[in-house]
Chains A and B, each alone.
Chain A
């Protein structure tokens, strides 16, 4: 019933709605390009809001078209700022939910025995042509599905023009709402684990002072568990110094002993540090991660040298299905003006100021996410629980 009424409703105000949605998409893209929106949390939420409006406005004749349009949107957002992974991550997760729903829907329709002989013939055709793509998918599906029989006929369903009883618009919007809820409550999940990890009279070191998650994590450990511990904060010169000071101030206000140390002192102090806690911007499928200030990588390297455990805190939405083949592409390079004064352009030094840094998986001991703690080597499993391989790269054709 609802699926019947919905398209007509959209159809009525469609021309207007589509142009308006174009306006908001393009202004969002422009903002991304100008770096007016920053921070993975805000980017993820804003992307979801935009996607919600997009889904409400867009129209399609079959589900495949809907997926294509969402992919197209995701591609544009990813291109706008390739180092802001938040956009791509949330869109890929929504796509995964949508694809799951489609499969579910199709399974039901098959069980009901409504498939005709024509579509069965069609099915055979397709399996021979596109067999590889579809077969690859079930192989890396969740471990909980390992014993299930692989679905062979999903492609057929994508193509089908027939109306299904599931209203995909509602499905997607519901998925978006759930994801927004999840992102907003991510800190609670992580904080639950905090208490068990921090002991009394421990010395912690954090090189990522701008991470809200780390901040809440520490405050929670202090307030809920009433642990007394010392936090060392690296200065993060030059890009992060202000953040480090703010961070230290906030911790001090919560009665946590906080010391700001120069970046160069990390090695000297590492022998006394009990744990290193880092916030992440993105976690890649190999368990490596992008962190938000240059120098974190060397801190983790240093921690490894001293066998100090490195804890990375990350919300699930920071998990990206990409593999960091070319790290340089994923690291953002900032401006040179903060490092050196302006110089005579003829005889000046070239400065390269990495804003973000890549920490390889072997330097991280455990990821603490809102659904529990995982070893870096296990990250890929969690990723494939939430993403579909077909949607890893949004550019180019789907098939």
Chain B
């Protein structure tokens, strides 16, 4: 009797993992952010394995997914994929009683979130609605409410494809996200009408939100909000990955995807925002690492707190004033442990040391008379007597000598050794190995390297001391590609407090917003044009000409199928933002060059060459011209190009091209007549037009039967 009961109970607990394919709830975790904000530490370890409060970041996300009741989790890894894979392999999530099935997807070639999503679509894993979450999220939101909202909106609106989770920030800018953005939401349904990145709050640049008035046509009331933390928790429908597939140029999740989808009238899809006041945020910069660690220790993310001991080997217990200690911590009698501090097991703290607002990892040796304030000391570090550490990060296995002073905002990398009596200036980042700009490191081979290393050595010994090991990491060069020219961006991406000076109160922001609104209503009749686009158009066009030509030529050369060639051209068109006219031009140019190539190498006679090329590749135009006027434009282009190319018999080439297109039903008689009626009288075309004149005349008079005769006459 008893065993039977047991087994029935077990099947219950297992039940949630053997759910139907349709019912399972999937989650995709983007472990890579494709940013370099945590350099130099991310050179050795991926961001999601960096410890926050002595627990790797990814654990917080997985913990959140476990509470959310997810059945399957896919981790997409690109940089340091092996480390992540190995970590997951050995983690508790891989054990039979893990609440979900976890698998890693390695896509080392991915360079953006867009690439990852396309990869996901190719693999065809997604079967239903899924949570798309970034691997550095820390949250205690009640996902069931969000799912409910998602379902409700889905029932109301068939075009609803995704729900973003946004959490409300306060007026204190430090709680804000590192990537500020304005969300314009429909007041009644909280549909996202428009999304725009804003300049950083700390930068002095003033932002403006420009909206296409058409987007607001069907909206009664809307709100513009800049106080929302985008925590990158989205519930997506299975339609989302194919959209990335269709739009090759989508790179980032917000700037490209959200903005693209909601402002595109072709797709006609909608994205909704779920606004919560729960704790939800991302560890996206050193600054937010600092803030979130303090929040976490201060129990702002309850019930996710350190003394839950989510890891199997953790033994934290809580004491008043937010002090967390593991077992086997050795504290000297005269040391003082202040508020908001966590200490890992095996750590020894010496006499007279004072620690406050800090997180100390495991097996650290902290000697006597040290002051540690607002800092993060990771596992296995050694800190010598009389040192002073303020608001810094000391990564694992680092070794600090006696009387070392770390000033505000220092980041000491893995395995770095700092000699006695050194003082590290404010905001310095030191790594064990020299790390160059990502791009240039590839070229930095051979003799060059030694030179530069020597230079570094000279420079760095002033930081780490004679017996120290470490190189200063220069964040200037390899910071984000975000076009922040004035260096403010760089400043704000360090741990240091210096941003206080640039404090910008929210009151002034809100007044700007108000003004903006007024302006918008006044000018809502005038069409919105993006000035930047116009300025850069010429450049784009030139680029496009070269690129497009190359694309078509490559297709001709390798005899690609037409669909592939078209897709490539289309992608190029969209990414460079050019019209079909340019596309037609480059296609024609490429085709005519091909013909010229055949003739000049005497592979084929002029007529055969033209027929061969245009009969096959003419089909490209079917998808490049759609209206009458566009076909006329096409014919003009062909004429222009043929004229430009200086054939021996231009008229024959043009005639050949037109007849081929005509035979393939690409050009219709009406179009040809119209074109001929309006063709330019420029004398330079006279040569070219000779045969066409005859042809058109013949077309007008002759019946279809005589076409054979005609062509034989021509020969």
Answer yes or no: A353 CB below 8 A from chain B CBs: yes
Q: Are B3 and A56 in contact (CB under 8 A)?
A: yes
For the complex, give the distance between the alpha carbons of A33 and B304 in Å. 9
For the complex, give the distance between the alpha carbons of A344 and B172 in Å. 6
Q: Are B302 and A36 in contact (CB under 8 A)?
A: no
**Complex contacts, A335 vs chain B, CB 8 Å:** 140, 299-303, 305
Query: Interface residues of A: mostly helix, strand, loop or mixed?
Result: helix
Tell me the smallest distance from the CB of B290 to a CB of chain A, in Å: 7
Answer yes or no: B95 CB below 8 A from chain A CBs: yes
Q: Are A21 and B10 in contact (CB under 8 A)?
A: yes
Task: Give the contacts of A21-36 with B (CB-CB under 8 A).
Answer: 21-27, 30, 33-36
Q: Are A352 and B308 in contact (CB under 8 A)?
A: no
Answer yes or no: B346 CB below 8 A from chain A CBs: no
Answer yes or no: A17 CB below 8 A from chain B CBs: yes
Answer yes or no: A20 CB below 8 A from chain B CBs: yes
**Complex contacts, B128 vs chain A, CB 8 Å:** none
Tell me the smallest distance from the CB of A199 to a CB of chain B, in Å: 41
**Complex contacts, A344 vs chain B, CB 8 Å:** 172, 174-175
Q: Are B9 and A26 in contact (CB under 8 A)?
A: no
Answer yes or no: B630 CB below 8 A from chain A CBs: no
Tell me the smallest distance from the CB of A176 to a CB of chain B, in Å: 11
For the complex, give the distance between the alpha carbons of A80 and B5 in Å. 25
For the complex, give the distance between the alpha carbons of A315 and B320 in Å. 30
For the complex, give the distance between the alpha carbons of A336 and B170 in Å. 15
Q: From A53, A329, A342, give the contact of B175 (CB < 8 A).
A: A342
**Complex contacts, B500 vs chain A, CB 8 Å:** 346
Answer yes or no: A97 CB below 8 A from chain B CBs: no
Known: A24-B10, A34-B67. A173 touches B318 (CB 8 A): no
Tell me the smallest distance from the CB of B340 to a CB of chain A, in Å: 7
Fill in one digit per residue for B294-311: 1 if any A CB lies within 8 Å of its CB, else 0.
110011111111001110
**Complex contacts, B279 vs chain A, CB 8 Å:** 337, 342
Q: Are A346 and B174 in contact (CB under 8 A)?
A: yes
Q: Are A342 and B170 in contact (CB under 8 A)?
A: yes
Q: How big is the B interface, by class?
A: 35 or more
Answer yes or no: A350 CB below 8 A from chain B CBs: yes
Q: Are A21 and B320 in contact (CB under 8 A)?
A: no
Q: Are A17 and B2 in contact (CB under 8 A)?
A: no
Q: How big is the A interface, by class?
A: 35 or more
**Complex contacts, A334 vs chain B, CB 8 Å:** 299, 302
Answer yes or no: B604 CB below 8 A from chain A CBs: no
Tell me the smallest distance from the CB of B662 to a CB of chain A, in Å: 70
Tell me the smallest distance from the CB of A91 to a CB of chain B, in Å: 17
**Complex contacts, B2 vs chain A, CB 8 Å:** 52, 55-56, 169, 173
Known: A17-B3, A21-B10. A328 touches B319 (CB 8 A): yes
Q: Are A329 and B303 in contact (CB under 8 A)?
A: no
Q: Are B13 and A24 in contact (CB under 8 A)?
A: yes
Tell me the smallest distance from the CB of B18 to a CB of chain A, in Å: 13
For the complex, give the distance between the alpha carbons of A137 and B309 in Å. 34
**Complex contacts, B6 vs chain A, CB 8 Å:** 17, 20-21, 52-53, 56-57
Answer yes or no: A19 CB below 8 A from chain B CBs: yes
Q: Are B9 and A345 in contact (CB under 8 A)?
A: no
**Complex contacts, B66 vs chain A, CB 8 Å:** 30, 34
Answer yes or no: A112 CB below 8 A from chain B CBs: no
**Complex contacts, A350 vs chain B, CB 8 Å:** 298, 321-322, 339-340
Answer yes or no: B7 CB below 8 A from chain A CBs: yes
Tell me the smallest distance from the CB of B12 to a CB of chain A, in Å: 8
**Complex contacts, A26 vs chain B, CB 8 Å:** 95, 97
Q: Are B320 and A341 in contact (CB under 8 A)?
A: no
Residue of B nearest to A14 (CB): B3
Answer yes or no: B169 CB below 8 A from chain A CBs: yes
Answer yes or no: B616 CB below 8 A from chain A CBs: no
5 A-B pairs (CB sep. < 8 Å) = A9-B3, A20-B6, A53-B9, A55-B2, A342-B169
Interface residues of A (CB under 8 A from B): 9-10, 13, 17, 19-27, 30, 33-36, 49, 52-53, 55-57, 79-80, 82, 169, 173, 328-329, 333-337, 341-346, 348, 350-353
Additional pairs, 18, CB under 8 Å, beyond known A34-B63, A345-B291, A353-B299: A10-B3, A20-B7, A21-B6, A23-B10, A24-B9, A27-B13, A34-B308, A35-B308, A52-B2, A56-B2, A82-B317, A329-B317, A333-B299, A337-B278, A337-B302, A345-B295, A350-B340, A352-B322
Interface residues of B (CB under 8 A from A): 2-3, 5-7, 9-10, 13-14, 63, 66-67, 95-97, 99, 140, 169-170, 172, 174-175, 278-279, 290-291, 294-295, 298-305, 308-310, 317-322, 339-340, 497, 500
